[in-house]
Amino acid sequence: MRKQTTLLGAGLLLLVTMPALAQNGCPDCTAMVPDTLPADTIFLSDAPDGRVNERYEGVLHFRMPRTTTPVAANDPTVAPGLTINEVTIVSVSNLPPGMTWQANQTVFRTAQQTDGCVTFCGRPLQPGLYEVEVVVRAQVLVVSQTTSFSFPILIEPAIRSTEGFTMTNASGCGEVTVHFSNNIPSMGNSGFSYRWNFGTGRTSLDENPVPETYRTPGVYPVHYQAVIDTFGHTLSNVRVLNVGCSDLFGRPDLLIEVYAPDNTRIYRSGVVDNARLPLDFNVNIPIGDGNYVLQVWDEDQGIFGGRQYEDCGKVTFNKLSQGRQAVSNMTVELNIIHPVDTVEATDTVRVFAVPDPPLISGYDGEALCQGDTVELISHYAENIQWYENGAFIIFGDQPILSATKSGAYQVRYTSPEGCTAFSESVALEFPPLPTTPVFLNNNNTLSLFDLGALPAQYALQWYFNGTPLSKEQSTTLCAEATGTYLLRVTDESSGCFSTYARPVTYNPDFAGCISTSAENRFRDLITDVQLFPNPTTDGKLWLELQSNRPVKGSLVLHNLLGAAIAPAQAISLSGSATLPIDLSGQPAGVYFIILQIEDGRQTYRVLRQ
């Protein structure tokens, strides 16, 4: 979460997690919040998770605060008790590709309405944890503040399911690893066989194959086959086509018997009197491994009573003996069924190309300074988002970004398939400008008032009416004519500079200004100077002077711009004097006391708090 402003602080960032202006395609929603919520509070429901290529539809409900009191409970930097007049949803970005939204309203006048909702819907194209970026504008009293914040929506990888198998993470960008689940497991039983073709040239006979990695963009058909051979073989029908046996007085009375490989009789049919051929017997007995025997009998009535059986023929067969079997003078037809269930399924893995990284132009490494603007240009014109030091930039979705702050800048491009690419980082450094070189004018002598504010490595240049004074590069300058004087200070470590200009009226009474010997003369006349209290809180202070002989002079008060703030005060002392200085009527700031003693002078700096 990144905070752009500080009026409402982090507490308000938790307030409205929804998009900006109503979008098309999502159902309307009705705000519903718990009945137990206080009227003045912050509430937000969670955004549901989604899955790639599956319909997403989720509603977020929220309540906005009416004052800053609940906001201050989350952010101690916020003053409680201020009325929030209005909250407006301004913009949204970084929704999962393929999704859109619709809010029930975008402007909330909190005195009348604090509850709202938003519907997110669509079919997400790519998985990931998306930090949806929202910009809201809150009006507190007469101040309007814009804030950026984010909330998460988790989109899980796609799950594609067929009758035979399920794929997880079946689509992606650049490279995807797909996990396969067999929907027809053997559960450890025999009779199951499988075949997989993953579309990459690799196949597998495993029931549960290892994940397959698709490293090249494309469309890959995945084929699956499961053969379920668990029913076995069944002798379902025996058709007797002809036999060599017959009754004396008509057609034979036929029956059949089946013997297992261990000679155990496992089937005996009923007798069909005066059988007409072909004759069908519905048997339906399971057939395993080994050789079985089919015996055909003719049942006759014995001359002396009882039953007699005539051997009409015997056939040896196994589970693969499907069809007609003939021995000597008997022919039978065996129908042995072997049910095998085959399940085949096909689905598709799609790997989308990662777009080429965006290219940034507009900056060639030239030196920058505070106050400069660099126009960074993305070679992609749409579907972009700018970042500064890894953080989302509000309204940074245009191809040109005006950068004015030091930082590492990147742009992200999102393709129509939802694949993203980041540019290389462009580092911009805007060194601060040197302190403005304010100078004072004292009887044609222009002097820099705050030498301590100069950079560690600096260069000075004076100008008169825009023309550089080539030999004048010191902290003082003797003005020789009326006009506009300008002083430029350059920080030689960065090349950045600041200027200060002011009109100066030449005083002919001080031609040539005051020499260094005159300043030495001041120190000869005034042996000690005390200025107290400095700084002063009430504006009243004292100037105490000591001299070795009677002297006369004047005292003048100047503000930071060098203008006199009071008439010159004549002074006369012999030995010592204590002079009152009154700045009580002046605002807080820096002031200067210029003390002129005969042909010498000194300037003293005073801080009024």
Mind listing the pLDDT tens digit for each residue in 516-525? Answer: 444 556 767 7
Mean pLDDT in the chain?
86
Q: Which of 269, 274, 266, 265 is nearest to 237 (CA)?
A: 269
The confidence band for 345, taking pLDDT boundaries of 50, 70 and 90, is very high
What pLDDT band is residue 278 in, cutting at 50, 70 and 90? very high
CA atoms of 132 and 277, how far apart (whole Å): 83
pLDDT confidence band for 302 (50 / 70 / 90)? low
Query: Residue 22 has what pLDDT?
Result: 43
| pLDDT on residue 569 | 84
Strand order in the sheet with 99-103: 43-44, 56-63, 115-122, 99-103
pLDDT, average across residues 101-129: 88
Residue type, 162: T
Closest-CA residue to 582 (of 573, 569, 595) = 569
Mean pLDDT, residues 127-139: 83
The answer, yes or no, to whether residue 6 has pLDDT greater than 70, is no
| The pLDDT of residue 560 | 66
Instruction: Dump pLDDT digits (tens) for 83-109.
Output: 888 888 777 778 888 888 888 888 888
pLDDT of residue 447: 86
Which pLDDT does position 603 carry in this prediction? Answer: 76
In this predicted structure, the answer to whether residue 44 has a pLDDT above a threshold of 50 is yes
- Beta-strand ranges (E) seen in 465-558 are 467-468, 476-478, 483-491, 496-504, 526-532, 540-547, 551-558
Q: Is the pLDDT of residue 142 over 70?
A: no
User: Does the pLDDT of residue 11 top 60, yes or no?
Assistant: no
Q: Which residue has the higher pLDDT, 232 or 74?
A: 232
Q: CA-CA distance, 11 to 42, in Å (whole number)?
A: 9
Which has more confidence, 580 or 558? 580
Q: 45-59, 193-207, 583-597 — which is least confidently predicted? A: 583-597
pTM for the model: 0.64
What is the model's pLDDT at position 572? Answer: 81
Distance CA 7, CA 85 (A): 13
Q: Is the pLDDT of residue 563 over 60?
A: yes
Give pLDDT tens digits for 184-227.
Answer: 999 999 999 999 999 999 999 999 999 999 999 999 999 999 99
What lies within 8 Å, CB to CB, of 30 at 6+ separation is: 104, 117
- The fraction of the chain above a pLDDT of 70, given in percent, is 91
Q: Which of 39-53, 100-114, 313-327 has the highest mean pLDDT?
A: 313-327
Asked whether the predicted pLDDT for residue 21 surpasses 60, the reply is: no
